[in-house]
Homo-oligomer: A and B are copies of this chain.
Amino acid sequence: MVMKKVSLLLYLGIFLLQASISFSAEIPISEASSECIDCHASVHPGIVQDWQNSRHANIALKDAMTVEGLARKVSSEKVPESLKGAAVGCAECHMLRPKAHADTFEHNGYEIHVVVSPRDCATCHLQEAEQYSKNLMANAYDNLAENTLYQKLQRSIIGTKKRSHGRMTAGPADEATKAETCYYCHGTRLNVVGKETRDTEAAGELEFPVIEGWPNQGVGRINLDGSLGSCSACHTRHAFSIEMARKPYTCKECHVGPDVPAFKVYAASKHGNIFSAMHKSWDFNAVPWTIGKDFTAPTCAACHVSLLVNGDEEVVSERTHQMNNRLPWRIFGLVYAHPHPQSPDTTVIRNKDGQPLPTGLDGTFATKYLIDSKEQDARRKSMQAACLNCHATSWVKGHWQRFENTIQKTNGDILITTGIMEDIWQAGFADLKTNPFDEAIEKKWTDTWQFYANGVRFASAMGGGGDYGVYADGRYQLTQALLEMNDWLNLHQKLSISGKK
């Protein structure tokens, strides 16, 4: 009996030793990638090491393709034969489709491009790339840059300021500022604008492309092959790990500020508490991701992206890189919350007054461009499918009733602040026409919807409420700003009347 257990232990040890020994030793690396690594392992040790620890480096593509069913990570059914025999190394990505990439350049006998795009990744991960192309985020560049109204908001914040004769104006923002502000997250438009020769330590003089808009890893980056987005926004180079994308820190990069306080709300929620306290023992790499076994509280990815199964290996949520197909409402970024847009290209949207907005300034939905209530129902159900794995129906129902009540109430509050703003515009105390966002009182109005109503909705959606919906850029601040706007109007009316006397 004792002996049996001893040998069990020994076999376990042997297995672990074999596993760790054989794993990296036998994975063939292509000749091209080997040559890359010869120099770059010492020139760029950080990223080479990241890659060496990644799945890309530790399994040959053909072996990865033998995985069947839910555990399969290579979603493409066919991949080029030439890639199958080796690990996915430097060359396998940076040498793909050389003619498609404007930044392809000759580098030590190889045709290399700097910026790997979703269309490159689609070689193996076709399904994810196709899903992502339907994601609002893929269009984040144009959705901001091609919306005349948003461009006014943008200019009012990052434009080059001037003051003359007591008046403030803002000219266009410079490119460097644009690239590190809005377009850091939205993604820049990349352009090859020339070549330069650099004297490198490892290999003497070499020529490289000069890329405008680089560096960038924004979600809607316009790549040099014309494709949209950057997988490395979430699957950080050069590990491209599922683990990182599933942890909430990744989403935090763009979703933490007062305009979109998702991480902040999550971290103070019960789910976030469980994550923070317990995740050291969770398995963030398991595919599919089993509720209860691999993790015991959702991260951002669990609700919005990942393929979830229950203990019986039944699919609870399909993997989606479209993300919004589990979202009935779009709760942030705009004056009012509204049903999600139908198309990821939101530049086509016009409200009843012809403005490029999904609602009127009175809150009416531009229904023609938004999903209908049937689609909302379907999305609500697909989100709730995950909730129901830990919560009873009555809990889930109660949570959603409150959330949808909060959408109505916050829209109602913004109807009031917008009403005050319209009175201010009408009275001529502020100028609507040139730019509705560039005066102090207009910024206070912007605060009410872009920060406070947003924050309240996030707290409701992700935390079921809590302090963040009250005192931390919540209802307290919303009320305060509303009262201050009202006082401002009253004061100016008074001054204006007394001025006229």
Contact = CB atoms under 8 A, between A and B. Distances in A.
Interface of A: 2, 5-6, 8-10, 13-14, 17-18, 41-50, 114, 156-158, 160-163, 166-168, 170, 174, 176-177, 179-182, 184-185, 198, 200, 208, 210-211, 214-215, 217, 236, 239, 243-244, 247, 249-250, 252-260, 263, 267-270, 272-274, 276-278, 280, 290-293, 296-297, 310-312, 314, 388-395, 398-399, 401-402, 405-406, 409, 412-413, 416, 419-420, 438-441, 443-444, 450-451, 459-460, 464-472, 474-476, 479-480, 482-484, 486-487, 489-490, 493-495, 498-499
A453 to B, nearest CB: 12
B490 A166 contact: yes
The 4 A-B residue pairs whose C-beta atoms are closest, nearest first, are A180-B465, A49-B292, A46-B390, A257-B467
Nearest to A495: B494
Contact of A9 (B14, B156, B416, B489): B14
Contacts of A162: 416
Contact of A394 (B41, B208, B489): B208
Contact of A184 (B181, B239, B465): B465
B293 A49 contact: yes
Given A42-B311, A46-B296, A161 B479 contact: yes
Given A249-B277, A495-B494, A420 B267 contact: no
Contacts of A391: 44, 215
Contacts of A176: 401-402, 405-406
A174 B410 CA distance: 13
Given A181-B475, A469-B180, A45 B389 contact: yes
Contacts of A494: 495, 499
A197 to B, nearest CB: 11
B180 A402 contact: yes
Given A45-B390, A161-B416, A253-B270, 20 more contacts: A9-B14, A42-B311, A44-B390, A46-B297, A46-B389, A114-B394, A158-B475, A168-B486, A170-B479, A176-B401, A176-B406, A214-B398, A215-B395, A215-B399, A243-B277, A247-B276, A439-B487, A450-B471, A495-B495, A498-B499
Contact of A14 (B6, B291, B405): B6
A401 B46 CA distance: 23
Given A256-B268, A257-B468, A464-B180, A166 B405 contact: no
Contact of A270 (B6, B236, B268, B460): B236
A156 to B, nearest CB: 7
A464 B389 CA distance: 40
B10 A14 contact: no
Contacts of A490: 166
B252 A268 contact: yes
Contacts of A499: 494, 498
A230 to B, nearest CB: 12
B45 A185 contact: no
B13 A9 contact: yes
Given A258-B472, A402-B180, A486-B168, A311 B9 contact: no
A61 B160 CA distance: 59
17 contacts: A5-B13, A8-B17, A9-B10, A9-B14, A45-B389, A45-B390, A157-B479, A160-B409, A161-B416, A166-B490, A167-B486, A176-B401, A210-B394, A215-B464, A243-B277, A249-B273, A451-B471
A267 B296 contact: no
A490 B41 CA distance: 61
Nearest to A488: B440
Contacts of A479: 156-157, 161, 170, 443
A278 B244 contact: yes
A373 to B, nearest CB: 20
**In the complex, which of the residues A394, A467, A474, A484 has the most CB atoms of chain B within 10 Å of its own CB atom?**
A467
A476 B157 contact: yes
A96 to B, nearest CB: 18
B270 A465 contact: no
A10 B247 CA distance: 37
Given A45-B389, A180-B460, A184-B466, A483 B259 contact: no
